[in-house]
């Protein structure tokens, strides 16, 4: 009866469940056009900003906005006011701020078809026979939240500090693609970047942005003030990049963090210098403030939703709670969202450089990885967590991806076949010699500890627990270690983990989102699958770290080829070869396709019915939260 009720409640989901297969539903990123000031006349602003203009605390809107601000063509022109309440899970969950628009801005956006659209960067041009010179033109007149101009100097400063090696920060994204001293200022709004290899501009629509507020950070920089040290700059810079201590730091985003409280509440207020308007000249955003409430566990989120305490949230929500959200819509005053995802569901990553040498050898054996995959009952996971709406899926991108290699690879090693899995394990000499139900390796129990976090990235912990349950039936002592995300990061960095579980990002474009699949170009990037020791080996030409197995070297080489392709057809071809290698070698062990859910206050307007959710589109930022408003 409960199953029937759940199916009835999920009827609305069925129409969008095909999204994982076709990728065509959802919304388009709103159109952006440029409008000169004289075309729209006097700009309008929020009442709180108008009061500050009246008191002389702020200049008029016309002086705060660019001469040609971006115009968001909104479905309905909004009214100012209100607060959007959200939750976050701790200090490492900085993307909860980023995804709503309270932290970074992107150089460019991408539509859900993967087409680059202007944002901070107004236009771009590749030069040279190999397209390794990239000229970026910034949108003139954008200002930081303290009123200082955003210029090419902010890009040069960021690249210069990172490339100096004096501040221990990772270099990723577009910044990592620029050669040393490869940035040249043409004018205040135009920069020429010399690239190591061709880098598609669409790839810049990710988390890492190659700019920083030079005018603010140089007060901590020993090159400008000899009383300062590189440690001072490192401390200030880490606050900027990690989303901690943002109260004093200038931002370009729609909202800016204004306060933290002892109980973990973060408040972000409207950025008075935000540089976008609607078609009637109203400066965005419409909503006054965003509040982020700390939750120690995602288990508390459903009750908060039902009580009407969350206004807009997708991140950190679990689809297994969707029917509960549907049942409580009216009482909670919200609308439940069922969203297809650009990611795959819970995915196991083995540590191919783990400290246990016997386990390391076993993990590197493809036959063992086949046994692990064949021993997972993916249909049970789909039924338990997604009401049967997702399907078993291998280490392969979704059909919508240009690099999708075919169904053969999507379904490779995904059939639930415990008999074959047991035969493989027997053939590897992994026997249960003392009849306690657990196989032994080198005289000790065959134990795999799977780190996971009860939050957005891992998918429901229950999914990982089901995998562990299936593996225990094979005689493997699989243990789920549920910990806070910052502890997971620490264990990744010091290589003290055996395996970990996370959703698999980039399933609509594993070349652009290569960090989740194969790329090794960015040292110490937290989401890399290969771990720090093998990264060290790769970046030191074998002088340090742990040698990676041949199949990972081949996968990475193919990824580099795909990244260097200068046209879409070649990139797709290399991408298919990359995807086939990943699937054939079970580089990672996925479970199913993925669905996400969320909630939105019933009074919030300009929210589409559905969209494709995922890191490729920076989560909720894909629908431009700065255009949301409360119906009066």
For residue 129, what is the domain's CATH number? Answer: 3.90.76.10
| 3 state DSSP class of 411 | coil
Q: Highest mean pLDDT range out of 97-111, 140-154, 381-395, 552-566?
A: 140-154
Q: What percent of the chain has pLDDT over 70?
A: 88
Total number of domains constituting the chain? 2
* The predicted structure's pLDDT at residue 374: 99
Last residue of a domain, which of 195, 228, 261? 228
Higher pLDDT, 169 or 545: 545
Of 501, 494, 488, whose CA–CA distance to 462 is shortest?
501
User: Is residue 200 domain-shared with residue 259, that is, in the same domain?
Assistant: no
Q: What is the mean pLDDT of the chain?
A: 87
Per-residue pLDDT at 360 exceeds 60: yes
One domain, residues 131 and 171: yes
Does 237 fall in a domain? Answer: no
Residues 259, 222 share a domain: no
In this prediction, residue 511 carries a pLDDT of: 83
Nearest to 617 by CA among 154, 275, 115: 115
Same domain for 214 and 113, yes or no, is: yes
Question: Do 132 and 207 sit in the same domain of this protein?
Answer: yes
pLDDT digits (tens, 9 = 90+) for 287-324: 999 999 999 888 899 999 999 999 999 998 889 899 99
- 224 and 252 co-located in one domain: no
Domain stop point among 199, 228, 257: 228
- Of residues 13, 113, 10, the one with CA closest to residue 609: 13
Residue 351: its pLDDT value, please? 94
Instruction: For 436-455, write each residue's pLDDT tens digit.
Output: 999 999 999 999 999 998 76
With H, G, I as helix, E, B as strand and everything else as coil, classify residue 626.
Answer: helix
More confident residue, 348 or 527: 348
Please tell me whether residues 192 and 258 are part of one structural domain.
no
Q: Is the pLDDT of residue 173 over 60?
A: yes
Q: How would residue 35 be classed by pLDDT, with cut points 50, 70 and 90?
A: low
82 touches 291 (CB < 8 A): no
Residue 257 pLDDT > 60: yes
- What pLDDT, on the 0 to 100 scale, is given for residue 241? 58
Mean pLDDT of 560-569: 83
Q: Is residue 402 part of a domain?
A: no
pLDDT at 594 (0 to 100): 92
Domain-embedded: residue 604: yes
Q: Tell me the average pLDDT across 537-554.
A: 92
Q: Quick check: pTM over 0.75?
A: yes
Specify if 241 maps to a domain. no
pLDDT, residue 244, reads 57
Vertex 255: Cα angle to 250 and 258 (nearest 5): 65
Specify the residue for token string 């990244």.
563
**Which residue did the predictor score with more confidence, 346 or 445?**
445
Judge if 158 and 192 occupy the same domain.
yes
Using 50, 70 and 90 to split pLDDT, how confident is the model at 40? low
Residues 180 and 110 in one domain: yes
Q: Give yes or no: residues 185 and 278 share one domain.
A: no
Range of the structural domain that residue 192 is part of: 104-228
pLDDT of 12 higher than 50? no
């Amino acid at each position: 009866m409960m199953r029937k009720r759940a199916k009835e409640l999920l009827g609305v989901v069925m129409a969008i469940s095909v999204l994982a297969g076709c990728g065509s539903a959802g919304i388009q990123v709103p159109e952006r056009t440029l409008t000169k000031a004289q075309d729209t006349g006097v700009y309008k602003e929020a009442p709180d900003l108008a009061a500050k203009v009246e008191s002389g605390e702020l200049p008029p809107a016309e002086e705060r906005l660019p001469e040609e601000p971006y115009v968001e063509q909104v479905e309905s022109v909004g009214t100012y006011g209100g607060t959007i309440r959200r939750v976050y899970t701790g200090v490492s969950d900085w993307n909860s701020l980023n995804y709503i628009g309270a932290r970074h801005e992107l150089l460019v956006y991408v539509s859900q078809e993967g087409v680059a659209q202007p944002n901070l960067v107004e236009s771009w041009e590749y030069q040279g026979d190999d397209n390794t010179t990239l000229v970026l033109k910034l949108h003139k007149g954008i200002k930081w939240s303290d009123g200082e101009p955003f210029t090419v100097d902010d890009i040069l400063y960021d690249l210069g500090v990172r490339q100096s090696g004096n501040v221990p920060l990772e270099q990723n994204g577009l910044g990592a693609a620029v050669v040393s001293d490869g940035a040249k200022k043409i004018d205040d709004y135009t920069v020429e970047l010399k690239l190591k290899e061709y880098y598609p501009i669409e790839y810049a629509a990710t988390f890492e942005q190659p700019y920083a507020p030079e005018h603010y950070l140089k007060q901590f920089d020993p090159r400008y003030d000899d009383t300062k040290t590189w440690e001072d700059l490192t401390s200030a810079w880490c606050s900027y990049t990690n989303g901690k201590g943002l109260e004093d730091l200038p931002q370009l985003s729609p909202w800016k963090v204004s306060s933290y409280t002892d109980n973990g509440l973060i408040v972000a207020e409207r950025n008075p210098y935000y540089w976008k308007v609607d078609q009637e000249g109203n400066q965005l955003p419409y909503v006054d403030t965003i509040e982020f409430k700390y939750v120690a566990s995602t288990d508390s989120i459903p009750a908060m939703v039902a009580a009407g305490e969350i206004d807009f949230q997708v991140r950190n929500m679990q689809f297994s709670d969707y029917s509960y959200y549907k049942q409580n819509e009216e009482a909670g005053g919200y609308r439940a969202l069922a969203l297809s995802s650009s990611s795959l569901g819970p995915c196991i990553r083995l540590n191919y450089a783990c400290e246990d040498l016997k386990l390391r050898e076993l993990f590197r054996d493809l036959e063992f990885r086949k046994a692990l995959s064949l021993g997972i009952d993916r249909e049970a996971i789909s039924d338990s967590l997604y009401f049967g709406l997702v399907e078993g899926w291998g280490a392969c991108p979704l059909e919508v991806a240009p690099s999708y290699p075919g169904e053969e690879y999507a379904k490779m090693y995904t059939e639930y076949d415990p008999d074959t899995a047991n035969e493989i394990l027997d053939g590897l000499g992994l026997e249960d010699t003392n009849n306690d139900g657990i196989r032994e390796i080198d005289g000790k129990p065959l134990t795999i500890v799977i780190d996971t976090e009860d939050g957005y990235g891992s998918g429901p912990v229950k999914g990982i627990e089901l995998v562990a349950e299936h593996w225990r039936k094979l005689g493997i002592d699989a243990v789920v270690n549920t910990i806070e995300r910052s502890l997971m990061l620490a264990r990744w960095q010091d290589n003290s983990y055996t395996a970990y579980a996370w959703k698999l990002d980039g399933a609509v474009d594993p070349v652009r989102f290569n960090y989740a699949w194969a790329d090794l170009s960015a040292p110490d990037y937290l989401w890399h699958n290969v771990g720090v020791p093998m990264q060290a080996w790769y970046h030191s030409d074998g002088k340090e770290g742990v040698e990676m197995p041949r199949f990972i070297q081949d996968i990475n080489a193919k990824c580099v080829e795909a990244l260097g392709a200068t046209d879409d057809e070649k990139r797709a071809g290399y991408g298919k070869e990359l995807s086939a290698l990943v699937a054939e070698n079970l580089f990672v062990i996925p479970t199913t396709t993925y669905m996400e859910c969320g909630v939105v206050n019933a009074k919030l307007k300009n929210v589409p019915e559905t969209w494709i959710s995922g890191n490729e589109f920076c989560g909720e930022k894909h629908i431009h939260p700065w255009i949301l408003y409360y119906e009066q």
